[in-house]
Structure formats: structure tokens, C-alpha cells
Amino acid sequence: MPWSNPIFLSFPFQTRAWVCEGDSDISHVVGMYRFGADLRWTKTKNFGDNKYPLLMLEPSQDETFVIGTFMTGFLLWRVDGEEDKV
């Protein structure tokens, strides 16, 4: 898969991954993938284009939001439900 940093996996089972897609450090698109019974990662959600270079991705404590941190702030995306930024 052409993923670049940042990346994080769900806890404790590590069956979901949130990644910056693309093969370069300038990718700002965040996607969610699930690890399936076929032992492959499948894209399940696209969080849309983000105009800021992300420094870090992390989950909220209950993993209902993805927090993208960039140099001057942060963005929140809801994991389930709407695909638009919150």
C-alpha cells in the first residue's frame, strides 16, 4: 500500500488503520482501512483532502474521532458517520 506517515492502528486488536495516503511526505489525504478476514487491508473511508501537512495522527480516547495535528493547530474527523470534517 502506498502510505506515508503519519499512521496509527486501533487498540487493542489493531484491525483499523488511519493513514496519510500517498508515497510522499507531502500527502495530506487521510483514509481509514480495515484488516479483513482475507488478511488484507481494505479502504473503508476517505476523510477528504486536507490542505495542511500533518505532523501526527492520533485517536480520541474512545476512538470516535481522528485528530490530525499540524504546525498551527489540529483537525478532527468523526470515525463513524459523516465523512466531512467536524
- Encode pLDDT of 5-25 as tens digits: 656 677 777 888 888 776 655
CB count, 10 Å around CB of 18? 24
Q: Name the average pLDDT for the chain.
A: 77
The residue-averaged pLDDT of 63-81 equals 86
Alpha-carbon distance of 73 to 52, in angstroms, equals 10
Task: Kindly report whether the global pTM for this prediction surpasses the value 0.85.
Answer: no
Per-residue model confidence (pLDDT) at position 58:
86
Domain boundaries, the chain: 3-78
Residue 78 has φ and ψ, to the nearest 5°, of: -80, 130
Sign of the CA dihedral 81, 65, 72, 7? Answer: negative
* CB 20, CB 4: distance < 8 Å: yes
